[in-house]
Amino acid sequence: MPERYARQELFYGIGQEGQKKLATKTVALIGCGALGCTSANLLVRSGVGCVKIIDRDYIEESNLQRQALFDEDDIKNNLPKAIAAKKKLQKINSGVIIEASITDLNPANIETILHDAHLIIDGTDNFETRFLINDYCVKNFIPWIYGACIGSVGITMTIVPGETPCLRCALQDIPPFGTTETCDTAGILSPVSSVIASIQAAESLKILTDNVASINRHLLKIDLWRNQITRLNINTLKESSNCKTCRNNQFEYLMREKYSSTTSLCGRNAVQIAPTNGSTIDLSTLASRLETIGRVSFNKYMLRLKINNYELTAFPDGRTIIAGTDDLSTAKGIYAKYIGM
Ligand SMILES: [Zn+2]
């Protein structure tokens, strides 16, 4: 379809040459929530060669307010976010390769998942994963775009290793757990995530078409309710911060042999348990074992067991999300009782 990208090729910053470059590039989106859905939609429509969607979760009704690739049928069909997004994106542009991974990015799998990505977009909801991405990208000289939203406020920063400060230059260390609000505790205005994801997509288009000179070099903060735009100058941070990651090449998040195998999913009253020994789950075998215990439904992507006040969702990669508690030991007990690995 020669007409498909006509308007984008007319734009002076891209042109036919830039369009050809886009078609050869692979972008990985870590997390397919509000930010991931919107940036994926924009990049797939723009004709990026391959878009990889990495997400660990399933769709809930409260996601539909802002996660633009999902609908009510996806929830009825028990589709994980990565699969629902892939189906929608493939309909939007059949010329783009869309890859879906239903998994949690961690130090053990990051190399395999991201090895062919030219650029990474942050659609995550936690700093542990962001610092892991930062380590990987700085080490391998891969650009990535940080994005986060809460309430009416969104923040973004573009990281081009070797050229700009990295996320750790700006944030030093992970904010102590519980001190940062999340969209599950403070809510979120959907236009904020659209704005931040649109900036992430625009930054991606610049980098992928070799227009790095045009990238945003500030920590950009936008508050759509109070009508405030703040641009924090971070140009000198790399020199002044003595950053562990980009000045001293200490990739501690990447080097972690042990990562959190049991994670409270912030504000969701749910806990994720992941096996550290790499074991996987055969969903049909598990289904036949659990059928006599409670109400079980499953497809090839996930299995769900409803029992008492809990809802267990198991994935083939070995993870189980237990909804109905945010207490780690309660969740481990339920896991041991029903999944039992
Ligand atoms: Zn740094």
pLDDT over 70 percentage in the chain: 94
Domain co-membership, 303 together with 171:
no
Domain co-membership, 106 together with 54:
yes
User: How far is the centre of ligand 1, averaged over its atoms, from the C-alpha of 135 (Å)?
Assistant: 9
SS (H, E, C) 112-150: HHHCCCCEEEECCCCHHHHHHHHHHHHHHCCCEEEEEEE
Q: Give the residue numbers spanning the domain of 190.
A: 6-255
Residue 1 lies in a domain: no
**Domain count across the chain:** 2
Domain co-membership, 223 together with 183:
yes
User: How far is the centre of ligand 1, averaged over its atoms, from the C-alpha of 202 (Å)?
Assistant: 23
* Residue 50's CATH number: 3.40.50.720
Q: How far is CA 340 from the centre of its chain?
A: 29
User: How far is the centre of ligand 1, averaged over its atoms, from the C-alpha of 144 (Å)?
Assistant: 13
pLDDT over 90 percentage in the chain: 72
Residue 98 lies in a domain: yes
Residue 66 lies in a domain: yes
Residue 226 lies in a domain: yes
User: How far is the centre of ligand 1, averaged over its atoms, from the C-alpha of 334 (Å)?
Assistant: 41
Domain co-membership, 120 together with 200:
yes
- What is the average pLDDT score of the chain? 91
Catalytic residues: 183
Last residue of a domain, one of 213, 234, 255: 255
Domain co-membership, 147 together with 227:
yes
Domain co-membership, 278 together with 141:
no
Domain co-membership, 147 together with 241:
yes
Residue 193: band (very low, low, confident or very high) from pLDDT cuts 50, 70, 90? very high
Q: How far is CA 286 from CA 101, 316, 336, in A?
A: 21, 10, 13
Domain co-membership, 112 together with 48:
yes
User: How far is the centre of ligand 1, averaged over its atoms, from the C-alpha of 203 (Å)?
Assistant: 19
Summarize pLDDT for 96-125 with one digit per residue, the tens: 999 999 998 999 899 999 999 999 999 998
Summarize pLDDT for 209-254 with one digit per residue, the tens: 999 999 999 999 999 999 999 999 998 888 888 899 999 999 999 9
